[in-house]
Chain A
Amino acid sequence: MEKRIVLNFPAENAQNPVIYDIVKKFDVVPNILKANVKADQGGRMVVELVANENEIKAAIDYIESCGIEVSAIGSKISWNSELCTDCGTCTSSCLSGALTIKAPDWKLQFNPDKCVACKLCLKACPLHLFSMDVSV
């Protein structure tokens, strides 16, 4: 399976090589989609983990045991579906396929598991209905 997560590195653990560790320890294939981590300040990283379910769970437990907060990426993006008009403009710039609009109903669908937090939807939505609770 694939799972996309956000790693929140505190400054004191910013140099912890957890990505290397999870490859060695759990045979997880990490695909770093986005990273903004500074050695002296910490930061955030968006990673896709490819492995079986148990290995992914073990890898996430390990990362958390190293003092690095892990959250599901979908929790970072919020979308005001009530005000959405289903115009579909946002899907144009969503190349990860998290935002889709198609037959039969042509209503906007948001799949947080596919989101890579590129933030293009924040600007693409003409009604500004997307927001992100932290900057990744």
Chain B
Amino acid sequence: MTKSYEEINEKIRKGKAVVLTAEQVSEMARTMSPKEILSKVDVVTTATFGAMCSSGAVLNFGHATPPIRMERIELNGVPVSGGLAAVDTFVGATDCNVQRPEYGGAHVIQELIDGKEVILEAWAKGTDCYPRTHIRTRISLDTINDAILWNPRNAYQNYNVAVNSSDRIRYTYMGTLLPHFKNASYSSAGELSPLLNDPECRTIGLGTRIFLAGAQGYVTYNGTQFNTSKPINEYGVPMGGARTIAVAGEMREMNSRYLRGAYFEKYGVTMYVGIGVPIPILDEDMAARVSIRNEQIETYLEDYGDDFKLIGTTNYAALRSGEIEFNGHKIHTAPLSSLARAREIADILKGWIERGEFLLTAPTRPMPANRSLKSLEENL
């Protein structure tokens, strides 16, 4: 038995699709075979709410009179890209003013989504067609032309667990890592995480419609650092960071409950992004994939206190128990991404699909099949 996207969408239109969250189907899989799951379930919703630094927004401010070709741009004092035409910019989530490192592009994006006004200041040399050299004004989502969340790399398939063997605190994008293995940070929604439920991206590709920070957004491309070359464990799960997705969506439809500007101590600004991805149960293989459970999802322990060495493995059931053991150390574990908020997103997406408000899209192009990562060589 197989199902097509069209058959599933027809059920969704009629309000007859059976939709479960990935956690619900993983529980169901304890007593049901993939064949039974395929016959009972049409769509599984997955979600994550974690820090995703490779995020940002494309804005178009509109032209002032007289017009300006903005070459240096600040939003609330945060320098943003002046490299996109006259009145376009890209606000990178991690953009910040070095004088005020705890406030950055992610906070500007969140404030815009919250409906707040933001101060735009821009400078230019002045040209015959764009004579103006300076402008300072207030903008909001109501006053500008375009505001598109445009994230090059989100929803990492899996991620290493951070620990610190050294004798001093390490302040990292994985949070504050205490010395001598006092704590371990992990960042994945585990069995609820989107790319762990479709590990080979059979259904997630260019054009996949998703939940993005409260809006209906899209997977626009393979995410940067997309990597298919990580080791695969016996349950088909890639170990460590592997595949990623690039996503985009309309900021005016978003809600900051699912997008937050954040600051990690002595690291910098980042952005928490809420993403929900529907997985159609097309065949027994997909039914088996979405049945994955936390104890089957393994990842590496990475020592941020010793040259980022991979020093062991663990799984998400162990991580969620609050303590893992490694070489005689009992290590206190803590998440970085919100499972509670991810569950909320999976439930919202489930509701959208059950009510016929959200149809599934087949990828217009699949994700790459063979990709590995290069290191940056210093060759000058």
Contacts and interface: CB of A to CB of B under 8 A. Distances in A.
B182 interface: yes
B338 A95 contact: no
B332 A127 contact: no
B335 A87 contact: yes
A9 B50 CA distance: 43
Nearest to A87: B338
A71 interface: no
Contacts of B339: 86, 88, 106
Nearest to A97: B332
A85 B338 contact: yes
Contact of A89 (B182, B185, B340): B185
A85 B260 contact: yes
Contacts of A88: 334-336, 338-339
A103 B338 contact: no
A123 to B, nearest CB: 4
A124 B270 contact: no
A95 B182 contact: yes
Interface residues of B, number: 31
B221 interface: no
Interface in B44-60: 49-51
A74 B341 CA distance: 26
B83 interface: no
Secondary structure type dominating chain A contacts:
loop
A89 B185 CA distance: 8
A102 B183 contact: no
Contact of A126 (B49, B178, B182, B270): B270
* Of A91, A92, A106, most B-chain CB atoms within 10 Å: A92
A81 to B, nearest CB: 12
Contact of A95 (B332, B335, B336): B332
Interface in A42-86: 85-86
A93 B340 contact: no
B341 A85 contact: yes
Contacts of A25: none
Interface in A83-133: 85-89, 91-93, 95, 101-103, 105-107, 120, 123-124, 126-128
Nearest to B51: A126
Contacts of B262: 126-127
Given A126-B270, A126-B272, A89 B260 contact: no
A98 to B, nearest CB: 13
Nearest to A100: B322
Interface in B281-320: 320
Contact of A86 (B265, B270, B340): B340
B340 to A, nearest CB: 4
Given A106-B340, A124-B265, A89 B334 contact: yes
A99 B263 CA distance: 19
B176 interface: yes
B183 A93 contact: yes
Contacts of A105: 340
A87 B332 contact: no
Interface in B159-196: 175-178, 182-185
B141 to A, nearest CB: 21
Contacts of A91: 334-335
A34 to B, nearest CB: 17
B263 A92 contact: no
A107 B340 contact: yes
18 contacts: A86-B338, A86-B341, A87-B49, A87-B335, A88-B335, A88-B339, A92-B176, A92-B178, A92-B183, A92-B185, A92-B332, A93-B176, A103-B320, A105-B340, A106-B338, A124-B265, A126-B175, A128-B102
Interface of A: 85-89, 91-93, 95, 101-103, 105-107, 120, 123-124, 126-128
